[in-house]
Amino acid sequence: MSPMTITVATPNNYIVGQLVTLTVPFDYGVYQANGLTASIIAIDSTGLIFSVAIDATQFDPFVIPTMYQPMPAQLTSAGARNVWNYTTLPFHSLTNVGN
């Protein structure tokens, strides 16, 4: 598998192992990725370039539309996965109630 590379425009707090969901309107190309959820497998030193566990070799290329789009392509966190320490609040209850 060849991981999909994603570049974002703004600083963020994503971490390796975190799940993210892609929202890609049709006019941006790569519509095959719309709605997919994947794990971040690598982040570059700037924090703006990610590799995710999606094989996009057969997907259309990403393009920025020339006309205004009411909704941009988005990368959003999917759930509350804390991979550094799963006992850290607020992601894990001390009494394990509700988990």
**CB neighbours of residue 78 within 10 Å:** 15
- Main-chain phi, psi angles of 15, to 5 degrees: -130, 160
How many percent of the chain have pLDDT more than 90?
Answer: 48
For residue 45, the 8-state DSSP code is T
Of the candidates 8, 37, 10, the one whose C-alpha atom is nearest the C-alpha of residue 21 is 37
What pLDDT, in 10s, does the model give residues 27-72?
A: 999 999 999 999 999 999 999 999 999 999 999 999 988 888 778 8
Contacts of 10 (CB under 8 A, 6+ apart): 48
pTM of this structure: 0.74
The confidence score (pLDDT) of residue 67 equals 84
The confidence score (pLDDT) of residue 40 equals 93
H or E, element range at 23: strand 19-23
